[in-house]
Amino acid sequence: MKFTTRRVKHGAAVAAVLSLTAGMAACSGSSPAASDGGTLVVANYQFLEPGRGDQLWNGLLGYEEFNDKATLEQTASPYLQYVDKLNTELGAGGGPDVFVVQEAQFATLAEAGLLEPLNDVLADSDLNSLNEGLKVDGDQVGVIWEQVTYALIGNKNLMEQAGIDALPTDVDELIAAGQQIQEATNADGFAVRHLMSEFDSWWMDYNVFPYGFGGSWSDGSELTIDSPENIAGLEAYKKIYDAGIMPIGDDASTFRTKFKENQLAFMIENNGATLSFTEGGQISGTDIVSGPLPFTDPGQHQRIVFAVNKNSDNVELAKDFIRWFVSEEGQTAIRPGLGASTLATDVPLSDEFQSAHPWAPTFLDQAATSRSNLVEGFETDTKAIMQIVMRAVERVITKGDDPAQALAEAQSEAQTSLR
């Protein structure tokens, strides 16, 4: 066949018409009803956690029995990539149908209008007060997946070997106990995140320290990064970092494995991670002891939200899934996998769980006073602010910068960058 100008122009015109027709066909039509069923893609980084991930997924699969025309598919990536991947997908108009997000990310997505309002499916639900904070202009755009709190946990086996019969109650006791552990057992004394390569998790864990000394990053309208309380928190963090009881250079994956393998004695951890330590290692739930944080003031919580993608092709089915999720059936199904977390409704821990995990009640006790990780008044700028703060923290622990000066510089930089 010879290519002539006329034939090329004719072919291009036909291709354009076909493309336009296909595009119009794809764009036409609204989301199918929930009763029509379909496939829902559910995203959660926790599906990758050993043991717990399968437990969570199996709990959610209960919806397939509730709505036998629905099929659930999971998608998961490690947390460090999960946030970036989800933001990129949602920003491009795609992404999973239903997903979990941390509170900071939720605020950004809600402000961008990417979350589907759920008012019509939650009217008859028994949500607790924690869900109040997930409303935007009166619309409930998410429900609590779980709210995790932080506590000091100890490896009972190592504590017994070193002759320690109670958890430390302040920083100096923590350092002394960590040194005692090292001398008696050769294991590491204490661990907490400290690497910029884990920024997305580090800044959330670090908040234990400034909050523990009564600090906060803003007063609701002005940033207060360099407040005396925040400086005290950073000084305590540096004191522990320099004490020689931490495995410097270990990421969370490594030192958490050490805890499971009786190679690390104390951690400041959240209850979700603590539950995962009872699977795939050398310890069980009864080998973990827990107690309040070794500070004067309460710590923070991580509020993880379950939300529906406004651009989902199956919005109605996704909303029906949320309706089931917050029902007694759904909350009971998910409870074992979420351990000592506070859920969307006040479904209690089972007696069986509590006896297998005596460390759990401490975390539930923290929930009454724990504080949000979001910077009040600057919710959608939280991550950008914490980038600046954590760079200052890193300079203090690695270069020995003065904490007060480092936080003062962070205050100035944050005020300038919020332009």
Partner 1 sequence: MTVSSPAAALASGSSRRTRRRRDLGKYLFILPAVLYLLVFTAAPLLQGLWISFTDAKLINPNGGEFIGAENYTYLFGSNAFWDSLTTTVVYTFVTVVFALVLGTAAALALNRAFRGRTVIRALLTFPYAMPTVAAALIFIWIFNPTSGALNKAIGVLGIGQIGWLTDPDYGLTSVLITTVWKVFPFVMLVVLAALQSVPDELYEASRIDGADGLSTFRAVVLPHIMPTLSIVGLLMTIWSIRRFEIIYLLTGGGPSEATNTLVVNVYRRAFSEQDLGTAAAIGILGLVLSLVVTVVFFLADRRQSRREGTA
92: contact with partner 1 by CB under 8 A:
yes
Candidates 64, 198, 297, 365; binder of partner 1 (CB under 8 A) is 198
From the list 268, 257, 260, 266, the residue with the least C-alpha distance to 284 is: 260
Rg of the chain in Å (alpha carbons): 24
User: How near is the Cβ of 182 to partner 1 at its closest, in Å?
Assistant: 11
Rounded distance, CA 215 to CA 228, Å? 8
The SS3 call for residue 272 is helix
> Could you tell me how far CA 148 lies from the centroid of its own chain?
8
Following DSSP, what letter does each residue of 42-109 receive, concatenated?
EE-GGGGSTTHHHHHHHHHTHHHHHSTTEEEEEE---HHHHHHHHHHHHHTT---SEEEEEHHHHHHH
Candidates 15, 18, 356, 384; binder of partner 1 (CB under 8 A) is 384
In terms of CB distance, is 343 or 414 closer to partner 1? 414
109: contact with partner 1 by CB under 8 A:
yes
Residue in the block written with tokens 């940033």: 223
292: contact with partner 1 by CB under 8 A:
no
149: left (phi over 0), alpha (psi -120 to 50) or beta: beta
Rounded distance, CA 62 to CA 70, Å? 11
In terms of CB distance, is 146 or 409 closer to partner 1? 409
200: contact with partner 1 by CB under 8 A:
yes
250: contact with partner 1 by CB under 8 A:
yes
37: contact with partner 1 by CB under 8 A:
no
Burial of 222 (0-12, 13-18, 19+ CB in 10 A): exposed
Only one of the segments 58-66, 196-204, 308-316, 360-368 lies at the binding site for partner 1 (rule: CB under 8 A); that segment is: 196-204
166: contact with partner 1 by CB under 8 A:
no
Only one of the segments 37-45, 56-64, 106-114, 291-299 lies at the binding site for partner 1 (rule: CB under 8 A); that segment is: 106-114
Candidates 184, 257, 332, 395; binder of partner 1 (CB under 8 A) is 395
Contacting residues toward partner 1, per CB under 8 A: 2-5, 8, 83-84, 87-88, 90-92, 108-109, 112, 114, 188, 194-200, 247-250, 383-384, 387, 391, 394-395, 398-399, 419
